[in-house]
Amino acid sequence: QEGLGWVLSTAPRLPVPDSVLCMFRDQEEAETVVDDSSKHGGRLRTFPHERGNWATHVYVPYEAQEDFLDLLQLLLLRARASVPSLTAMAEFHISLSQGVILRHHWISPVVQSLKEHLASFPRFTCRADRVTIYTNDPKSRTFIGLEVTSGHSQLLELVSEVDRVMEEFSLPSFYKNPSFHLSLAWCVGNLSEELESCLQELQEIVNRFEDSSYLVRIPGAEVRCKSGKKIFSFPLR
């Protein structure tokens, strides 16, 4: 038995096949999220994380160029005089859905359904040039955004297609009479009154900025769906 024990302890461990590891990778991603608000600026989840749940969101992306980021810095410089805690968004988009929860096994069928509903939708351009202040539903966060002033009808048609997919899976549809917008910056708490006090000045910064009419044009060339850390792209026709 001693000889057998020695052989077992020194035998090389065989590698686990990739096909087996992949079986558990997605599950582990979904299960190891810890809700620590100190790691993301004090923000709290709109809904609590539960094992196997994937936060999911459908949107039109906007790839910010250097000039747009210059405009954003000017807006933040003024707005932070009223609300110093404002933080610039890490990425920019126009939402087409509420944040919803998907079970892991729903992701593929939802993505496939979105692909089918969006396949024939034509490309378009919208314009977002009206500075507007928003709060989320629980009033726990406040945002500075650029509201869409043209292209609204095309965005409504996109939402209609996305809503059909949501209804197919008994998920909540988008808000009625939505104010489509590009969020620029956010802060914790309901500080809308403080930001609205400088709203006219922020609008003047946008109006006076060189080439602002070009910068606030948003190409509707694709729709994306983000589920957990996965991003799916649906190019428009």
- Whose tokens are 């000017």? That residue is 74
Across the chain, what does the average pLDDT equal?
A: 85
Indicate whether 203 belongs to any domain: yes
| CA atoms 191, 194, 196, 198: torsion sign | negative
Indicate whether 35 belongs to any domain: no
pLDDT at 154: 98
Catalytic residue among 40, 49, 57, 181: 181
Indicate whether 12 belongs to any domain: no
Provide the pLDDT confidence category of residue 194 given band limits of 50, 70 and 90: very high
Number of domains in the chain: 1
Q: Which residue has the higher pLDDT, 154 or 25?
A: 154
pLDDT at 41: 54
Q: Is the pLDDT of residue 144 over 90?
A: yes
Question: Hey, which bits of 84-229 come out as E strands?
Answer: 87-88, 92-95, 100-103, 124-135, 141-150, 181-188, 217-220, 222-227
Catalytic residue among 93, 104, 117, 152: 93
pLDDT at 50: 61
Compute CA distances 50 → 27, 34, 40, 103, 104, whole Å.
12, 10, 18, 10, 12
pLDDT at 45: 47
Task: Tally helices (H) and strands (E) across the chain.
Answer: 8, 10
49 catalytically annotated: no
Indicate whether 210 belongs to any domain: yes
152 catalytically annotated: no
* Domain span at 171: 52-235
CATH number for position 127: 3.90.1140.10
Indicate whether 44 belongs to any domain: no
pLDDT at 52: 81
Indicate whether 143 belongs to any domain: yes
Give the model confidence (pLDDT) of 104-130 as tens digits: 999 999 999 999 999 999 999 999 999
Indicate whether 37 belongs to any domain: no
Indicate whether 34 belongs to any domain: no
Give the model confidence (pLDDT) of 6-52 as tens digits: 333 344 444 444 443 443 344 434 333 444 444 445 545 444 556 68
- What pTM, to 2 d.p., does this model score? 0.80
